[in-house]
Amino acid sequence: MPPFEPLTRRDALDAWRDFLPKVPSYTSTRNSVQPGHANVSRLGACIRFRTLLEDEVIRDTLERHAFGVAEKWLQEICWRRYWKGWLETRPSIWTRWRQRVRALGLELPAERLARAEAVAAGASGVACMDAMARELMETGYLHNHARMWWASFWIHVEQLPWELGADFFFRHLLDADPASNTLSWRWVAGLHTPGKSYVVRLSNIEKYAPHYLAGDSSGNERLADVSVGATVPENIDAFAVQPLLQTPSFSPPAMKNFGIWLHPDDLVPEIGPLAGLAPTSIAACFSESIYRETFQLSPRRIAGLKVVLRDALERAAAHFGCATLALKAEDPADALCSWAVENKLSEVVALAPMVGPVRDMLGSLERRLQAAGIRLTLLRRLSDATAFSFVSAGFFPFWQKMRRHLNEVYL
Ligand SMILES: Cc1cc2nc3c(=O)[nH]c(=O)nc-3n(C[C@H](O)[C@H](O)[C@H](O)COP(=O)(O)OP(=O)(O)OC[C@H]3O[C@@H](n4cnc5c(N)ncnc54)[C@H](O)[C@@H]3O)c2cc1C
């Protein structure tokens, strides 16, 4: 099956234009898992890297469709921002997950590690689950229902640590997102809402994905409803809630000579708070060794990151009319600081990175720039700041606030 997720902005806009008329039927068709997945948008990767903005998707939806008809679709689009906002105030969930992935690789008994590898390789012996694992590795995509089933199979049937399953998804999904992925896995495991875990049911797979079972039902007895218990892993951790990263309200940089730093958490600089600026230079940095060695991303994932960064730099060059630079470096903070010094920048401006790989290097970048006498200014889109301020507990209280807000802004 060929990869079919749009990544560049042009492909994303084309795909979104094609999907927009299907929004009214999304509610009734979205749960079904079909070959080719034409019943869902497959916009995950371009929304994750923001070569397409949720704001654009919401605006176009409400220009074309009534709120009531599009509500389920709008909810799903906003789920991502809910997860993002949730993780922004609990960054230690991300840090702890990365630590556990490393530790489990050393601590888990060899027989358990071998089983984890076999299940991830699509050799569990349960044919439908193995088909899903192969689809993920071959395309970088899985339907939401398949993600839920497979994660539940990993945790509740195979009784493998959720952290390693989440790592498998993170290495292969083209739309892999630190918030949506980590928190969805925790939700399936019963850690997001303690005591409530998601348990896979064979009847559910048969109803929504008959083609996964066609011709080969081997291993399905392991999914028989009665044999699957909700096994909540130990250590239901309470993570300290931290205040949201403070970003200044928009004001043009005070200094004349400033640069824009582009990173894969938000790649549409030509729309939003950066759009009206006149930078001297624009840089994006790509560290293949971090992605390949630290995160062990699949070649497809790494290629996807290169595509979105190149695409953003090309658009930025056309929009801002200044030099753009693709830095390749082992140490991104070091490379970005050198770029700022060489270009005699007094300030570097960027959209605030969110919790995840880019934010992990922020402290180091800030320290180096500060030592070189260069200011770092992080801006946040107003729509993100508003959505994040609505996140307190569960999704539905968030959605009530979001719904009211969208009605005020767009209708
Ligand atoms: C275990 C597990 C892991 C997941 N990992 C990721 C991930 O790494 N990255 C990611 O973007 N989503 C993740 N999801 C959420 C969801 O499965 C994907 O967003 C969706 O399947 C992407 O495909 P699509 O664009 O065709 O979805 P569509 O149904 O067309 O949805 C449109 C958009 O809405 C957003 N969205 C829809 N459902 C969700 C959801 N449940 N949570 C958050 N956002 C949602 C996405 O941006 C998606 O692109 C995960 C879900 C589970 C259960």
Which residue has its alpha carbon closest to ligand 1 atom 43?
80
Report pTM: 0.95
Quote the pLDDT of residue 2: 42
- What value does the mean pLDDT take over residues 69-73? 98
C-alpha 78 – ligand 1 centre gap (Å): 10
- Alpha carbon separation from 248 to 17, 271, 377 (Å, rounded): 34, 18, 8
pLDDT digits (tens, 9 = 90+) for 98-124: 999 999 999 999 999 999 999 999 999
pLDDT-based confidence at 1, cuts 50/70/90? very low
Quote the pLDDT of residue 234: 46
C-alpha 325 – ligand 1 centre gap (Å): 32
Question: Residues with Cβ < 8 Å from 127, sequence gap 6 or more?
Answer: 213, 216, 217, 218, 219, 220
pLDDT-based confidence at 233, cuts 50/70/90? low
C-alpha 352 – ligand 1 centre gap (Å): 22
Question: Residues with Cβ < 8 Å from 408, sequence gap 6 or more?
Answer: none
Q: Which of 80, 145, 395 gets mutated to test ligand 1 (max ligand atoms within 8 A of its CB)? A: 80
C-alpha 144 – ligand 1 centre gap (Å): 6
Residue type at 345? L
Which residue has its alpha carbon closest to ligand 1 atom 4?
181
pLDDT digits (tens, 9 = 90+) for 153-206: 999 999 999 999 999 999 999 999 999 999 999 999 999 887 789 999 999 999
Q: What is the DSSP letter of 276?
A: T
- Alpha carbon separation from 39 to 21, 77, 141, 334 (Å, rounded): 11, 15, 14, 44
State which ligand 1 atom lies nearest to the alpha carbon of 47.
47
Structural domains in the chain? 9-88+386-410 (no CATH), 101-227 (1.10.579.10), 258-379 (3.40.50.620)
43 three-state secondary structure: coil
Quote the pLDDT of residue 224: 86
Kindly state the percentage of the chain with pLDDT values over 90.
87
272 three-state secondary structure: coil
